[in-house]
Copies of this chain bind each other. A is one copy, B any other.
Amino acid sequence: MIAPSFASRPRESCGVLGIYAPGTNVARLTFFGLYALQHRGQESAGIATSDGSRSYLHRGNGLVSHVFNEDHLKILQGHLAIGHNRYSTTGASRLRNSQPYLVETALGPLGVAHNGNLTNAAVLRRELLYGGVGLISSSDTEVISQMLAGAGGETWRERIGVLMDLAEGAYSLTILTRDAVYGVRDPWGFRPLCVGRLNDHGWVLASESSALATIGATFLREVRPGEVIRLDHTGMTAWQGVDPKSDRSLCVFEYIYFARPDSLLEGRSVHQVRRRLGERLAQEHPVDADMVIGVPDSATAHAIGYANQAGIPFGEVLIKNRYIGRTFIQPDDRLRRRGVALKFNPLPDLEGRGKRIIMVDDSIVRGNTSRAIVDLVRQAGAAEVHMRVASPPIRHPCFMGVDMSTHEELIAARMEVGEVASHIGADSLQYLSVEGLLEAVEAEKGGYCLACFTGEYPVPAVAAIGKDMFESW
């Protein structure tokens, strides 16, 4: 468990990877690819490989660097691999829920790594159970694996088609079979997935282009909504597994917060979009001030954009502890009152003394961190603190895999903007408009899931997914 105050940003579940590289042992490359996707999930990591006849799997809890050692890489033989980083959206970390999921099937071994959330998982799960399949975990990934194992069809291509006909919601998958790696993206395109070339003979599928860059692969293109990519000895083959939905719906939070700034999304630099978000925010909500700061490190680019646009100097007042690790040790009451001081420290008040400060954050979910940060900035001597948020108020829960699933936890669902401002103790608070957001993304029209801002869900919202019916390890 992280100390409470450390976990107040929207959290996403998972990064996926797939590699086909004949003549190579790909486990090492997969390791470094997962290393580059570590920001998408720190709960558990895993790699499954195939050497064309047998399959191998290693998974564990913790960071990629913690889960794997050289002995594990030696076991992970083969030239095909999929990998996964997971952020648990449940409280406990259960090895049983970690990925990839690897099963034997009538068509041979099958491995699945999944980023997203099926909105009809409960229905699919019930169908499997009543179809006579016992399930060992509460994960969508096991549901997907057993659906593929039990789907009609003599080929994996057919079975993937069946899956895509039935599954609803967000899924970017990499799939390992005996002799091929597949990439599958849901027809709405909620979660990113792209493909690259690895020197002359290999290909790589990854959640983000930055993972390609890290392992020396060249970005080719994104996988299209509803598309399936197969990588095998015939090269790369692509087809529409299911028609793309008319309301294409990339999660806009990938731009705002999730993706690495050095990733390319839809041909755009995530870093540049973040600067434009800040610029646009400055246009919509200017305020007279002496300094612009960002909440480190995620809002730095947004803050630089705001500062440049506003012509107000960019500065630093909050310092982030670089070496913070997970601890189960709780602060006592006095320390608790000091709140986030463990994660952020204000510069001595020489820095901010008497200044009017604009503090830019990328988003506000629950509001507790914001409150503590405003307090820290005041401790640093600020005369005024104006909070500017580079995304609209989050008023609706997400059912597509982002860890904000109830109205209650969303401060903007419970309070007006003015109330939020006084709750967090800011002199003023303004959010970017939805229009501003889309303009900054340079989206011509639609194409994004904005449900958490607007309440308009691309797929019908479903009953809350039941908790585990059993606890195991």
Contact = CB atoms under 8 A, between A and B. Distances in A.
26 contacts: A35-B342, A36-B345, A38-B323, A39-B321, A54-B470, A56-B470, A57-B471, A60-B473, A64-B327, A65-B324, A65-B329, A66-B325, A68-B327, A68-B329, A70-B328, A75-B471, A103-B136, A105-B129, A108-B469, A131-B150, A133-B149, A134-B150, A214-B345, A264-B348, A272-B351, A300-B316
Given A29-B335, A106-B130, 4 more contacts: A35-B321, A35-B324, A69-B329, A260-B345
Nearest to A267: B350
> Which 5 pairs from chain A and chain B are nearest by CB?
A132-B150, A103-B134, A134-B149, A57-B472, A65-B325
Task: Give the residue among A28, A110, A313 with the most B Cβ atoms within 10 A.
Answer: A28
B104 A135 contact: yes
A59 interface: yes
A110 B105 CA distance: 22
Nearest to A138: B104
A38 B322 CA distance: 8
A215 interface: yes
Interface in A149-198: 149-151
A416 interface: no
A345 B133 contact: no
A425 B146 CA distance: 54
A227 to B, nearest CB: 22
A69 B71 CA distance: 15
Given A329-B68, A332-B28, A132 B104 contact: no
Contacts of A56: 470-472
Given A134-B145, A341-B214, A351-B271, A59 B473 contact: yes
Contacts of A102: 136, 470, 472
A406 B220 CA distance: 47
A321 B38 contact: yes
A304 B297 contact: no
A64 to B, nearest CB: 7
Interface string A14-58: 000000000000001101100110110010000010000011111
A284 to B, nearest CB: 22
A257 to B, nearest CB: 13
A377 B342 CA distance: 33
Contacts of A264: 348, 350
A60 B64 CA distance: 22
Nearest to A38: B323
Contacts of A148: 134
Indicate how many identical chains form the complex: 4
Interface string A309-329: 000011110010111111111
A301 interface: yes
B63 A348 contact: no
Nearest to A331: B32
Contacts of A214: 338, 341-342, 345
B272 A301 contact: no
Interface in A99-148: 101-106, 108-110, 129-136, 145-146, 148
A445 interface: no
A269 B348 CA distance: 7
Contact of A106 (B38, B132, B150, B210): B132
Contacts of A335: 28-29, 32, 215-216
A109 B346 CA distance: 38
Contacts of A103: 134-136
A308 interface: yes
A54 B129 contact: no
Given A304-B314, A342-B214, A469 B54 contact: yes
B269 A347 contact: yes
A213 interface: yes
Interface string A236-267: 00000000000000000000000011111000
Contacts of A58: 472-473
A363 interface: no
Contacts of A75: 471
A145 B136 CA distance: 11
A369 interface: no
A345 B262 contact: yes
A136 to B, nearest CB: 5
A54 B471 contact: yes
B69 A342 contact: no
